Amino acid sequence: MFGIGLPELIIIFAVALIVVGPDKLPGLARSLAKTFTEIKKGLEQAKESLTQEEELNAVKAELHKELQETGADFRKKLLEERPESWHPAAEPEREADLIEMEADREADRPPDSPPAPAAHPEPQGLPAGDTGESGTQSPETNKAGPGNA
């Protein structure tokens, strides 16, 4: 067990019998057994938790690898079909960087040129199904503008 043989167990039992007494020894044995059982259950749960975490990390790493491969394949196919769509400029990592880049573009733009396109353009034009030829307008297009009162 822990390198303890039968003679050592007999000595430990005799010392416990003398120290604790014969009337309290069975209760002490039960409480020690419960304590060891709880420790064993706790260790098994911790081991199971670590095993599940390792499995999840392996799945996560595999999914990350597959996602990167899919992204690389998509980029390759996109460049083969539409090479003009590739823009080597670095993309901003934060919304604040994006706003700052737009402000810089506006500052560098000559005064008579049209404004630069927004990073997140708002949908323009008529809603789906509205051709604009009828006299009625949907609530989205019924905004004050030239010709509207």
For the chain, state the CA radius of gyration.
38
Which residues lie below 8 Å from residue 119, measured CB to CB, with a gap of 6+?
Answer: 98, 101, 102
pLDDT of residue 149: 46
Q: Indicate the pTM of the whole model.
A: 0.37
In a domain, 133, yes or no: no
pLDDT along the chain (149 residues), means of 10: 80 88 89 94 94 93 93 85 66 65 71 56 52 50 50
The sign of the torsion formed by the CA atoms of 73, 74, 78, 83 equals negative
In a domain, 41, yes or no: yes
In a domain, 99, yes or no: no
pLDDT of residue 43: 95
In a domain, 14, yes or no: yes
What tokens were used for 81?
Answer: 């079909």
Tell me, what amino acid is at 44? Answer: E
User: Rounded to an integer, what distance in angstroms lies between the CA atom of residue 36 and that of residue 109?
Assistant: 77
Task: Provide the domain count of the chain.
Answer: 1
Question: Range of 80's domain?
Answer: 6-84
Tell me, rounded to whole angstroms, the distance of Cα 96 from its chain centroid: 22
Residue entry with tokens 């009162």:
149
Please say whether the beta carbons of 100 and 111 come within 8 A: no
pLDDT of residue 82: 76
In a domain, 100, yes or no: no
